[in-house]
Amino acid sequence: MKKSRIVNCILGVVFLSLQLSCAGITKNASQLDEDAPIFPDYKEVTIPANIAPLNFSFLGEENCALLVGDKVIRSRGGLFRFGKRQWRKLLTNCSEGFLNLTVFVKRDNGWCSYKPFKITVSQDKIDPWFSYRLIPPGYQGWQDMGIYQRDLESYSQKAIMTNNLTGGNCLNCHTYHNGDPSKMVFHARASFGGTIVVDGDAIEKLNTKTDSTISALVYPYWHPSGDFVAFSVNKTLQAFYNHDPNRIEVYDMASDVVVYNVKTHEIAWSPLTKAEDRFETFPTFSPDGKWLYFCSAEAVEPMPDKHREVRYGLYRIHFNAEDMSFGDSLECVYDAPAEGFSVSFPRVSPDGRFLCVTRHGYGNFSIWHKDADLWLIDLTDGSLKPMDDVNSNDVDSFHTWSSNGKWMVFSSRRDDGLYTKPYFTHIDSNGNAAKPFLLPQKNPLAYYKRLMKSYNLPAFTTGKVKIGKRDLTDVIRKSSGTDVLVK
């Protein structure tokens, strides 16, 4: 009894002195006319109320502290770490819809405060999970890679599938049906090659190369009905530049767009999506399923000598899900080549109003193009605008909408120019994007510096992907696969 009293007294004194010292920091601090140097840059970002704590690091060497609301947090080695409960409480109690933060730093003349900043807390929830590949940013070395999922409300990361189970082959293009974690498609390449279609507990392996198509199926996108998947077929090559900032060029020698019927195992296409004199790629359906959007460029020869002359525009064609047929004309949605640009990765918002594309100087593989930026097309009037608050001086590319259309995740190389990281941005009803924030980590500075892989192909899911690695492995390794037929 006596002992516990003494302990309580000591704790009380420590707590009080901490409070006093903290109060001392904030009361007597002189103000600096500088933004706080922090990583990740969470200054003035908009976050969902259900996001994991946004820990960040002060990049200076000095002793520092953080004032959030009326609470002072001392850093450990420059890292400001929020407890899970503390974070929830902060987000719940920010009545004005934002958190006020100020970083204090101890210098010779006492404590100084950097310019305060705020984090806006949106009540629009973000999908609780998102998945991605973690791969080295090279293009041949994939001995150690996998498709992972991350709980956005915590720091928990789980592997959906890793290639150490399938002979170190390449796994790519994981895509979900409307963010449904139980319905997905991805490809396994090399010795256990095939396209894997997951629907609930059923897993199917497909052999997707046919005599009538130039390659196995590549970039997928689900039809909203879940009965079809649009794919591109591509003859893709890659090359390494001498010193071009883009470093690597990935280009198609030929490509087409086809639609796969999940029930009948048939693929079909229109002569307009498989034209001899054009490269068609990156298909995507409109949310009502009536339109198939894709990128298309005039084929040039010889490749790759003229690869910088290949510019893709955005087109759409009517798609009839009843009989898997296509319209008889193409509609140009955005004639990017006419403006001297190329577009890739079209994605329509769930409400069908906006279409987001990556725009860049030429070619289609924008994840290696430093000039790649996100642009938003308002499908109601065809107007186009750059997402200035989102774009950076480096690659901003592959993007996916959340299921409610309020959030978007995209890949960016803004931090080091090579290793892609996922950034999230809030999109309001008028298509205005807020300053994006980097995927939170327990210790982001240490984690991202240590990470030798890129986050590739980020995609939201409305829940956790539950299919087991064992089941996937068994199908990939053991199933001979179902041959895809041509309709």
Partner 1 sequence: MNPFALAYREQQQLFLFDKTYLLGTLLKVGGLSTLLARFIVQFFWNPTIALVITLALLALSSYLTWAFVRKTSKDWKTIPLCLIPSVFIWASLSDIGLHFDFLTSILLVQTGLLIFKNIKSGKLMWGVILTIILYLTTGSAAVLFAVCAAIKERSWKSLCYPAVVALCGIAAYLSAAVPTWADAFTPSFYYNLDASLPGMHWAGWICLPIIILIGELAGQTNLNRWFIFISGIVFFAVSCFPARKITNKFERQQPILTYKLEYYTNREDWDGLIKACKKAPWLPRTANYLNMALAWKGELADHLLDYDQRGPDALVMTIKDRAVDDAQAHIMMTMGNVAAAQDVAFNLLFSLQGYCPAMVKINALVELMRGSYEVADKYLSLLKKAPHYRKWAMKYRGFLFNDDAVEADPLLGNGRRNLTAEDAFIMYTNPMTELFPILDANPKDERTLEYGLCYLLLAKDLNSVKHFITDYYSSPDSPALPRIAQEAMVFYSEYSRNMEGVESFGLDWCYDHGVTPETVKRFEDYQKAAVAGPVSLKRFRGTYWYYLVHTEI
For residues 434 and 124, is the Cβ–Cβ distance under 8 A?
no
For residues 433 and 46, is the Cβ–Cβ distance under 8 A?
no
Tokens of 204: 């199917």
State yes or no: residue 473 binds partner 1 (CB under 8 A): yes
Query: Is the Cβ of residue 15 or residue 240 nearer to partner 1 in the bound state?
Result: 240
Size of the site for partner 1 (CB under 8 A): 35
**Following DSSP, what letter does each residue of 72-84 receive, concatenated?**
EEE-BTTEE---H
Per-residue contact track with partner 1, 303 to 322, x per CB under 8 A? -x------------------
**Among 419, 432, 462, 482, which residue sits at the site for partner 1 (rule: CB under 8 A)?**
419
Residues 6+ apart with CB under 8 A from 58: 36, 37, 38, 64, 75, 78, 80, 103, 105
CA separation, residue 199 to residues 90, 158, 402, 413, 481 (Å): 39, 20, 20, 33, 16
Distance in angstroms (rounded) separating the CA atoms of residues 409 and 404: 13
Where does residue 64 rank: exposed (0-12), middle (13-18), buried (19+ CB within 10 A)? buried
State yes or no: residue 470 binds partner 1 (CB under 8 A): yes
Query: Is the Cβ of residue 144 or residue 227 nearer to partner 1 in the bound state?
Result: 144
Distance in angstroms (rounded) separating the CA atoms of residues 19 and 10: 14
Query: Is the Cβ of residue 97 or residue 468 nearer to partner 1 in the bound state?
Result: 468
Sheet containing 383-386, strands listed edge to edge, beginning at the edge strand earlier in sequence: 342-348, 354-360, 373-378, 383-386
State yes or no: residue 468 binds partner 1 (CB under 8 A): yes
Shortest distance (Å) from residue 192 CB to partner 1: 9
Query: Is the Cβ of residue 14 or residue 159 nearer to partner 1 in the bound state?
Result: 159
Query: Is the Cβ of residue 138 or residue 463 nearer to partner 1 in the bound state?
Result: 138
State yes or no: residue 138 binds partner 1 (CB under 8 A): yes
* Contact positions with partner 1 (CB under 8 A) in 226-265: 239-244, 249
Per-residue contact track with partner 1, 72 to 111, x per CB under 8 A? ----------------------------------------
For residues 382 and 320, is the Cβ–Cβ distance under 8 A?
no
Buried b (16+ CB within 10 A) or exposed e, 282-306: bbbbbbebebbbbbbbebbeebbee
Residue 175: strand pairing partners: 185
Query: Helices (DSSP H) in 28-156: which residue ranges?
Result: 84-93
Residue 482: strand pairing partners: 206
- Residue 346 has phi, psi (to 5 degrees) of -70, 140
Q: H or E segment at 304? A: none
State yes or no: residue 380 binds partner 1 (CB under 8 A): no
Shortest distance (Å) from residue 475 CB to partner 1: 12
State yes or no: residue 477 binds partner 1 (CB under 8 A): yes
Shortest distance (Å) from residue 138 CB to partner 1: 4
* Contact positions with partner 1 (CB under 8 A) in 147-186: 164-168
User: What is the CB neighbour count within 10 angstroms for residue 478?
Assistant: 9
Shortest distance (Å) from residue 239 CB to partner 1: 4
Site of tokens 């399938």? 166
Query: Is the Cβ of residue 144 or residue 151 nearer to partner 1 in the bound state?
Result: 144
Query: Is the Cβ of residue 21 or residue 143 nearer to partner 1 in the bound state?
Result: 143
Shortest distance (Å) from residue 472 CB to partner 1: 8
> Candidates 108-116, 134-142, 266-274, 380-388 — which segment interacts with partner 1 by CB under 8 A?
134-142
User: What is the CB neighbour count within 10 angstroms for residue 111?
Assistant: 19
State yes or no: residue 140 binds partner 1 (CB under 8 A): yes
For residues 400 and 409, is the Cβ–Cβ distance under 8 A?
yes
Shortest distance (Å) from residue 340 CB to partner 1: 20
Shortest distance (Å) from residue 359 CB to partner 1: 22
State yes or no: residue 136 binds partner 1 (CB under 8 A): yes
Query: Is the Cβ of residue 63 or residue 238 nearer to partner 1 in the bound state?
Result: 238
State yes or no: residue 415 binds partner 1 (CB under 8 A): yes
Query: Is the Cβ of residue 179 or residue 444 nearer to partner 1 in the bound state?
Result: 444
Q: Is the dihedral of CA 349, 351, 352, 354 positive or negative?
A: negative
State yes or no: residue 483 binds partner 1 (CB under 8 A): no
Query: Is the Cβ of residue 166 or residue 284 nearer to partner 1 in the bound state?
Result: 166
Distance in angstroms (rounded) separating the CA atoms of residues 444 and 31: 27
Contact positions vs partner 1 (CB under 8 A):
136-141, 143-144, 164-168, 191, 239-244, 249, 304, 415-419, 449-450, 452, 468-470, 473, 477
